[in-house]
Amino acid sequence: MTTPAVRRVAMISLHTSPLDQPGTGDAGGMNVYVTELSRRLARHGVEVDIFTRATSSALPEAVAVDPGVVVRHIHAGPFEGLTKNELPGQLCVFAREVLRAEAAQPSGHYDVVHSHYWLSGQVGALARDRWGVPLVHTMHTMAKVKNEAMAAGDTPEPAARVIGEEQVVDAADVLVANTDLEAKQLINLYDADPGRVEVVYPGVDLDTFTPRDPVAVRRDLGLPADATVLLFAGRIQPLKAPDVLLRAVAHVLERRPGLRRHLVVPVVGGPSGSGLDRPASLVQLAHELGISDVVRFVPPVAQTDLARWYAAATLVAVPSYNESFGLVAAEAQACGTPVVAAAVGGLPTVVRDGVSGLLVEGHDPVRWADTLERLLADPARIEALGAGALAQAREFSWEATAGRTLEAYDRARTVMRGSGT
């Protein structure tokens, strides 16, 4: 018998709301992922309820963000002051409230549970068993991978998270991996069943992230029209390694002091994770390196403004120690800006080395300086990489992501263990 099409999805994003501003706190690429995927699913006629933890008493119980997409705020623990590592203590009450919300609906209201990050997966596993619907889970990041590629000064992920992730991997009917590498990591590090792992690339909003006149956007952003702009965008924490870019810039200026007159290094984002322990550390580093005059710190901005920063940049640097996909790199390329990225995680999937940007092995600031200096001395190559960046970005769209995700939902409903199908 043919399985009916998916009509309603319970999307669980416990620790960060899609309504939060990406680039600070725990808000980042996952927020964008949940929001954009939900919107595209709704365009396919699928109703999506996104369950997230309320972080303010002023938040309404439900917020419609798009036709067919509703964010539902769950009261679980104090509204403010909880770190991500303290959230496991709120899993029971969060799960209880999610189950209560579903119980107010007619039987069989949801067809699929799609959880994001391991905390949500714990709740999703309970909902799966209670509702008798499949669990699809997206890890986004994995403790074992992060602990293998830690930045200096970063804090290892706790053993409780590792155990929790293993439990979610075992419970999920389908695991959605962002890249082929992430699929291999799920299989090799978490003993995931290869038959339950589906690779679905995240997308880029190609309407928002698109080429713009660099002179015009630089004027709007207060940047000199003839500036050399090396941009970092993202959360300021050791994992994202903005310090690598700053140290590399210091080396480049030692070699080419004349570049200082034209160089601007915007750092767009706010402290996050272990970076919250030393929120001013990057400002202090710029001062110690003697490059405060070229570095410009910009608070997190909306997606439309972020697209302008990408378009204004000569190059975008993504020196992270790990990225499950690398949404910043994909967005920058969609704006026609080449990317210099660390050859880690999903970044080699997003950035075509020598075509849409350059990949750098390791995080040695001298090696990064060498790469940046060579590129800055070759404007023709930067232009060619910009054209390649645009072509590469077309490989990723949220429409394609939604289509592949719906296929993953259908597969999960077919293979759901213990369902009798």
- CA 267/CA 282 separation, integer angstroms: 10
Q: Is 264 annotated as a binding residue?
A: no
Q: Is 301 annotated as a binding residue?
A: yes
Q: Is 310 annotated as a binding residue?
A: yes
Q: Is 31 annotated as a binding residue?
A: yes
Q: Is 293 annotated as a binding residue?
A: no
Residue 350: both structure tokens together: 């997003």
Q: Is 307 annotated as a binding residue?
A: no
Q: Is 20 annotated as a binding residue?
A: no
Q: Is 321 annotated as a binding residue?
A: no
Q: Is 240 annotated as a binding residue?
A: yes
Q: Is 146 annotated as a binding residue?
A: no
Q: Is 15 annotated as a binding residue?
A: yes
Q: Is 84 annotated as a binding residue?
A: yes
Q: Is 40 annotated as a binding residue?
A: no
Q: Is 266 annotated as a binding residue?
A: no
Q: Determine how many CB atoms are found less than 10 A away from the CB of residue 394.
A: 11
Q: Is 111 annotated as a binding residue?
A: no
Q: Is 58 annotated as a binding residue?
A: no
Q: Is 30 annotated as a binding residue?
A: yes
What residues form the annotated binding site for UDP-N-acetyl-alpha-D-glucosamine? Answer: 21-22, 29, 235, 240, 301, 323, 331
Q: Residues forming the annotated binding site for 1D-myo-inositol 3-phosphate?
A: 15, 26-31, 84, 117, 141, 161
**Residues contributing to the annotated binding site:** 15, 21-22, 26-31, 84, 117, 141, 161, 235, 240, 301, 310, 313, 323, 331, 337
Binding residues for Mg(2+): 310, 313, 337
